[in-house]
A and B are shown apart, each in its own frame.
Chain A
Amino acid sequence: MSLFSEATTTQSAKGVSSRSAGRKAVPNKYTTVSIPQPLHQKIERLIAKKPGFKSVSDYVTYVLREVIAMHETKEVPEPFTSSDVAEIKERLKALGYL
C-alpha cells in the first residue's frame, strides 16, 4: 500500500533499534506571542460567536498560517531548469500530450 507501506525482511536483523522502548517524547513546539489586550478581547468575542476555534491561539494560528502561505506562494520559483523543460517536452510529444 502507499501511505502506510509494508516491507518484509529477507534476512534476520543485524542492528538494534535506537528507539524501541516506548514512545519518544514529542517536544512542545509552541511559543508565546504578545498581542494587544483589546485585540485579544475582540478575538475572544468573535470566536464565542463562531464555532470552530477553541481558543484565541487557535484563531491567531489559523489567520497567520493563511497570511504566511500567501507570501510563501509568491516566492517559489519553478522547480525545473530550461534543459529539464526541453527534455520533458520531447517526452510529452512522444506520448502525445503535446
Chain B
Amino acid sequence: MAAPPHGGTLVQVRQAASDSSGFGGFSESSRLSVDADTEKTIWNIGNGVFSPLKGFMGESEYYSVIEQMRLENDVAWTVPLLLLTDGAKEAAAGDDLLLASANGRPTAVLSCDGSFMVDKGEYARKVFGTEDPAHPGVAKVYNGPSRALSGKLTLMARPDYGQYGDCTLTPKETRVLFAEKGWKTVVAFQTRNAPHINHEYLQKSALSLVDGLFVNPVLGRKKPGDFRDDVIVAAYRALIANYYPSDSVVLSALHYEMQYAGPKEAIMHAIMRKNFGCTHMIVGRDHAGVGNFYGPYAAQEIFAEFPDLGVSTLFFKEFYYCKRCAGIASEKTCPHSEEDRLSFSGTKLRKMFSEGEVPPKEFMRPEVADAIMKFKEPFVV
C-alpha cells in the first residue's frame, strides 16, 4: 500500500460554500493580496501536499522547526511554512482574512491565530546554513517582509493550474491511481530540469527496485537560464512515450517554488512525495542545492537524522556517459576521469539549442531534444 500521509493524516482543507465566494463580508482591511507562489502554497496545503499542516505556522511551531527540525508534535519538518506580510499588515488572533490573488480572485480565508516577527538572519542561518545574499533563498528572505501571520485556511475556490491542469494530480488522486495500478512501492523523482540521459538512468535504476515511478517535476518560478515549465513537461512526455513502459510511470507536476535549501529542502521534497503516496525517494547529487553552498552529498547525509520519516531513500551518485566505458556510468561504477565523461554545462546546452544544434544522443534522447527544439525559446529569460 501507499505510504501513510506524513503525520498520519492527509489534510483536505475544507472549501467554503459556493455562495461565500467573492469578497462578500470582507472589508478592504480584511483582505490580503497574495502572489502567485503563495496561492500555489495555499493550494498545496489545501490538497494535502503539506500534510499534516492545515495552514501557516505560528511562532512556536516556527521555532520548533528551525531549532529541532520537527513540528511541535515531533513530526519531522525542516523548512518553515510562513505567510509573510509587510509591516503595515497586522492582524489579531480571531480575525478572518481573505487571501486573494493579485488579479482579485479569492483564494482562501485565513483564520488568524496570531502574528510574529521573523529574524531574517536567524532564518537564513538555520534554514539555509548561510547568510550570504548570493544564495537565492537567502536573498529572497532578506528582500521580503518579516511579519508572519499564522492560522488555519479555508479554501474559497478549487485550485486552477491553468495549462497544467491535465498533468497535475493531488495526493488523493495519486493514491487512488497507485492503488489502481497495483503499485505497492512507488519511487518519486524530483526534478526541475528537462531530462538528460543521466536522469533517465537514475530513474530506471530506481524503478528496477520498485513497482512504479512517479516523475514529479517542479513547476513555478525559476532562475533565468532554466528550462521553461512547458518545455520540461513536453520533454518528459516525449521521454516517457518513447522509452518507458506506460504501466510503470506516472508524470504529474508539482506547483512549488524551489527554495534551494539543499539538505533541509531534500527532506521537504521527501515529505511532499510521501503525501502523494510514494514509498521511496530518489536523492542524487546536490539535491535541491545551488552553487557551492552545500556538499555534493549533504542532501543524502541528512536523511540519517530522520529514522521516522516514513520514506525509504535511494541514494545515487551522478550518472553520465563515459567515452571509455562506452556507456552510461556513475561515480560509483566508473573508474575513469572527468575528461572521459560527456557533460554539458547549462551555458553550452543553451547555446546548442539556440543555434538549432541537437545534443548528441549519448547526452539526450533525440525525441526529447526534438520536443525541446519545438519551442522558440526553451529557457527562462
Q: Which of B1-55 contact A (CB under 8 A)?
A: 1-2, 4-5, 8-10, 12, 27-35, 37-38, 40-41, 44, 48
Q: Which of A8-52 contact B (CB under 8 A)?
A: 8-20, 23-24, 26-27, 29, 52
Roughly how many angstroms separate A89 CA and B30 CA in the complex, as a whole number?
39
Q: Chain A contacts of B81 at CB under 8 A?
A: 3-5
> Known contacts A7-B99, A14-B29: does B4 contact A20 (CB below 8 Å)?
no
A5 in contact with B56 (CB, 8 Å): yes
A7 in contact with B30 (CB, 8 Å): no
B221 in contact with A1 (CB, 8 Å): yes
Cβ distance B58 to chain A, nearest Cβ, rounded Å: 9
B307 at interface by CB-CB < 8 Å: yes
**Which segment, of B83-91, B183-191, B203-211, B373-381, faces chain A?**
B83-91
B141 at interface by CB-CB < 8 Å: yes
B64 in contact with A2 (CB, 8 Å): no
Main secondary structure of the interface of B (DSSP, over half): mixed
A10 in contact with B93 (CB, 8 Å): no
Q: With CB as the reference atom, state the residue of chain A lying closest to B37.
A: A1
Roughly how many angstroms separate A14 CA and B98 CA in the complex, as a whole number?
14
A16 in contact with B86 (CB, 8 Å): no
B220 at interface by CB-CB < 8 Å: yes
Q: With CB as the reference atom, state the residue of chain A lying closest to B309.
A: A69
Roughly how many angstroms separate A91 CA and B44 CA in the complex, as a whole number?
19
A13 in contact with B90 (CB, 8 Å): yes
B83 in contact with A79 (CB, 8 Å): no
> Known contacts A19-B59, A24-B60: does B28 contact A11 (CB below 8 Å)?
yes
Indicate which residue in A12, A16, A73, A80 contacts B88 across the interface (CB closer than 8 Å): A12
B residues contacting the other copy or chain, number (CB 8 A): 82
B195 at interface by CB-CB < 8 Å: no
A7 in contact with B35 (CB, 8 Å): yes
B147 at interface by CB-CB < 8 Å: yes
A26 in contact with B177 (CB, 8 Å): no
B357 at interface by CB-CB < 8 Å: no
Indicate which residue in A18, A66, A91, A98 contacts B115 across the interface (CB closer than 8 Å): A18
A16 in contact with B117 (CB, 8 Å): no
A23 in contact with B5 (CB, 8 Å): no
A7 in contact with B92 (CB, 8 Å): no
> Known contacts A5-B34, A9-B85, A13-B29: does B307 contact A23 (CB below 8 Å)?
no
Main secondary structure of the interface of A (DSSP, over half): loop
Q: Which of B256-300 contact A (CB under 8 A)?
A: 256-257, 259, 268
A4 in contact with B82 (CB, 8 Å): yes
> Known contacts A15-B90, A23-B59, A65-B308: does B180 contact A4 (CB below 8 Å)?
no
A residues contacting the other copy or chain, number (CB 8 A): 48
Roughly how many angstroms separate A77 CA and B374 CA in the complex, as a whole number?
46
Q: Chain B contacts of A66 at CB under 8 A?
A: 307-308
Q: With CB as the reference atom, state the residue of chain A lying closest to B12.
A: A79
Roughly how many angstroms separate A78 CA and B116 CA in the complex, as a whole number?
36
Q: With CB as the reference atom, state the residue of chain A lying closest to B34.
A: A7
A26 in contact with B60 (CB, 8 Å): yes
> Known contacts A24-B59, A66-B307, A66-B308: does B79 contact A3 (CB below 8 Å)?
yes
Q: Chain A contacts of B84 at CB under 8 A?
A: 4-7
B353 at interface by CB-CB < 8 Å: no
B144 at interface by CB-CB < 8 Å: yes
Q: Chain A contacts of B119 at CB under 8 A?
A: 23
Q: With CB as the reference atom, state the residue of chain B lying closest to A95.
A: B166
A23 in contact with B93 (CB, 8 Å): no
Bitwise interface map of A from 64 to 76 toward B, beta carbon under 8 Å scored 1, else 0: 0110110011001
Indicate which residue in B34, B114, B116, B175 contacts A79 across the interface (CB closer than 8 Å): B175
Q: With CB as the reference atom, state the residue of chain B lying closest to A15.
A: B92
Q: Chain A contacts of B44 at CB under 8 A?
A: 2
Q: Chain A contacts of B80 at CB under 8 A?
A: 3-4
B250 at interface by CB-CB < 8 Å: yes
Q: With CB as the reference atom, state the residue of chain B lying closest to A14.
A: B29
B304 at interface by CB-CB < 8 Å: yes
What are 7 A-B pairs at a CB distance below 8 A? Answer: A6-B85, A18-B92, A26-B67, A68-B308, A69-B307, A79-B5, A80-B172
> A6-B85, A63-B307, A79-B10 known; 5 other A-B pairs, CB under 8 Å?
A3-B81, A17-B115, A19-B115, A85-B176, A92-B180
